[in-house]
Amino acid sequence: MNSEAVPRPIIEARAIGKRFGAFHALRDVSATFHEGQVTAIVGPSGSGKSTFLRTLNRLEAHDSGEIVIDGIVLSDDIKNLNAIRREVGMVFQSFNLFSHLTILRNLTLAPMRVRRMARAAAEEKAMNLLERVGLKTQASKYPVQLSGGQQQRVAIARALAMDPKVLLFDEPTSALDPEMVNEVLAVMRELAYSGITMLVVTHEMGFAREVADRVIFFDEGVILEDTTPESFFSNPGHERAKAFLSQVRHGF
Amino acid sequence: MNWTRQHPGWAMFAAMIGLLLFLWGMALPLAAAPSPIGPAAEQFADGARITVGLTLIAGSAGVLIGVLAGLGKLSRFWPLRWLCDSYVWLIRGTPLLLQILFVWLALPTIMPEGVELSDFACAAIALSLNVGAYNTECVRAGILAVPHGQVEAARALGLTPLQTFMDVILPQSMRVALPALANNLASLVKDSSLAYAISVVELTMVGYRVQAESYQPIPVFVTIAAIYLILTTAFTTLTAALEAQLDVGQKR
């Protein structure tokens, strides 16, 4: 599913530290992500996995260390930041679709404003993406008229409309009713096989095992395991990982 | 009300046309009325035009001031926050009549030479500042009501802070703020009558003059009240239609 031959690093995180007051959310986290790689980031809640993901497009500012995205150092420099955010798409746990805009306008807003696309071209692209996630007929509806699963598929299409190099998923199925999880996972699976770089914070162990190239296990702000799904699920190296897996094992 | 909900665009249009027709044509049916109304029909029409002019100017400026000061109150820059807080505190804590008199009598003494304000302009300035202070709180509440996830989604898509505000925060906050802003506008229609104190010949002033000449206060003041009612009805229809227009995509 990815070209092992020349893996180009697209995200490099070096010794990232982050505190929320007295709480030490990330302690010197380092990881490199390569183009085309699908990484599942797992771990107990409060372990720092979502915080780590959110530092990668600076929804959280890291306190120490360095993050380089596609050759650009992530900082408060607004020009660099906007350049990075154009290339890094994000899908949120609670969808965060723009509630005052139709589904179509949700998809065309950023391409028109940020990429300066013409409306007709943006709409054509949006319709193609909606077809890809199976929601072409819903284009003129508003987010509130859609189910959670449909909204999350729209949110994925909205992120894709910017042609990002990397897609970050922050627990994309955690807010969904169980019967809607699969429709979202199906879209993500299709994306993973299309070769886009994905970082997925998830509790869906089945998805991680089946689709990911790599599993990162977070605990108390550090990366405890960084390995292949096979080795993580069959032979975890740390006690904490074993305990975590035994607790979530019903997931697959 | 149901009709305005279903056809907000038409209702808004009809209210505007109705208002204009009423203003231009009011003198015709009024002229047919018996004395003391008939002979003073033109005066009533002129007074109504001044009242509507004051309301439209101060209403628009007040919304603009409300948005700017509402943003200022939420600013991270404390001098700006302090300035906007003081403005609201000052205006809400003093009588409108005093504010009108201040602009009319005190402002010319501190204005540079050669700048002269008409009575109408003084009333418009005082009313704008007054309604702007009340609007500030409505706008601030509206902005605070926009879920943070909406901002994160916009920023993650690469929209600049200004684009995020104009395309996402402002339209969504207006949905919350509009009922309160409409309330302020309805008050403004009537508050504009205080301009009579600085010899602006608006509707109430016309009524006062006509009854003083005719010694018939009852028919004159009933007519004035009826005209105010028609004006406030037109304005509330307009804002109700606008509300319905902005209400799309909301849970009911």
Alpha-carbon span A24 to A48, nearest angstrom: 9
Binary contact (A89, B156; C-beta < 8 A): yes
- Token digits of residue B63: 């919304």
Instruction: pLDDT band for B92, please (50, 70, 90 cuts).
Output: very high
What confidence tier does A23 reach under pLDDT thresholds 50, 70, 90?
Answer: very high
For residues B157 and A109, the answer to whether their CB atoms sit within 8 Å is: yes
Q: What is the 3-state secondary structure (H, E, C) of chain B?
A: CHHHHHCHHHHHHHHHHHHHHHHHHCHHHHHCCCCCCHHHHHHHHHHHHHHHHHHHHHHHHHHHHHHHHHHHHCCCCHHHHHHHHHHHHHHHCCCHHHHHHHHHHHHHHHCCCCCCCCHHHHHHHHHHHHHHHHHHHHHHHHHHCCCHHHHHHHHHCCCCHHHHHHHHHHHHHHHHHHHHHHHHHHHHHHHHHHHHHHCCCCHHHHHHHHHHHHCCHHHHHHHHHHHHHHHHHHHHHHHHHHHHHHCCCCCC
What integer best gives the mean pLDDT of chain A?
91
Does residue B179 have a cis peptide bond before it, meaning omega lies within 30 degrees of 0? no
Question: What percent of chain A clears pLDDT 70, i.e. is strictly above it?
Answer: 96
Residue pairs spanning A and B at CB distance below 8 A: 72
Nearest chain A residue to B149 by CA distance is A96
pLDDT band at B116 (very low <50, low <70, confident <90, very high): confident
Look over chain B and give the mean of its residue pLDDT values, rounded to a whole number.
Answer: 90
pLDDT in tens, A218-247: 999 999 999 999 999 998 889 999 999 988
Calculate how close chain B gets to A245, using CA atoms only, in Å: 30
CB atoms within 10 A of CB B93: 8
CB of B247 within 8 Å of a chain A CB? The answer is no
CB of B170 less than 8 A from some CB of A: no
- List CB contacts (< 8 A) between B158 and chain A: 82, 85-86, 110, 114, 162
pLDDT at residue A118 tops 60: yes
Closest Cβ–Cβ partner in A57, A113, A144 for B156: A57
CA distance B241 to B237: 6
A98: its two tokens? 């723009």
Whole-angstrom distance, CA of residue A196 vs CA of residue A173: 19
The interface predicted TM-score of the complex, written ipTM, equals 0.89
**How many Å lie between the alpha carbon of A223 and the closest alpha carbon of chain B?**
25
Contact by Cβ (8 Å): B198, B122: yes
Q: Which residues pair with B83 in a beta bridge?
A: none
Contacts of B251 in chain A (CB under 8 A): 144
A135 with A157: CB under 8 angstroms?
Answer: yes
User: Average pLDDT for residues B100-122, to the nearest whole number?
Assistant: 89
Say how far apart CA B1 and CA A236 lie, in whole Å: 65
Compute CA A224 distance to the chain's CA centroid, rounded to the nearest angstrom. Answer: 20
Rounded Cα distance, B194 and B96, in Å: 8
Name the minimum distance, in Å, from the CA of A92 to any CA of chain B: 8
Per-residue model confidence (pLDDT) at position B249: 63
* DSSP 8-state secondary structure symbol assigned to residue A204: -
CB-based contact A98 B156, cutoff 8 Å: no
Which of A85, A94, A142 minimises the CB distance to B158? A85
Q: Residue A63 corresponds to which tokens in the numbers above?
A: 């306190």
Residue A251 has pLDDT above 60, yes or no: no
Q: Contact B167/A88, CB-based, under 8 Å?
A: no
Does residue A4 carry a pLDDT above 60?
no
Quote the pLDDT of residue B13: 80
Per-residue pLDDT reduced to its tens digit, B130-170: 999 999 999 999 999 999 999 999 999 999 999 999 999 99
Measured between CA atoms, the residue of chain B closest to residue A82 is: B158
Question: Looking at chain A from residue 121 to 160, which residues have their Cβ under 8 Å from any Cβ of chain B?
Answer: 142-145, 155, 158-159
**Which pLDDT band, with edges at 50, 70 and 90, does A5 fall under?**
low
pLDDT for the residue B31:
82
Place of tokens 């702000």: A221
Question: Which pLDDT does position A3 carry in this prediction?
Answer: 47
What is the rounded average pLDDT of the residues A168-174? 94
pLDDT at A6: 66
Which residues make beta-bridge pairs with A23? A20
Mean pLDDT over B247-252 rounds to 62
Specify the pLDDT at position A183: 93
Q: Do residue A98 and residue B154 have CB atoms under 8 angstroms apart?
A: yes
Q: Are B155 and A59 a contacting pair at CB < 8 A?
A: yes
Residue B45 has pLDDT above 80, yes or no: yes
Q: Tell me, what's the pLDDT at B252?
A: 46
Task: Locate A252 and state its tokens.
Answer: 């697959």
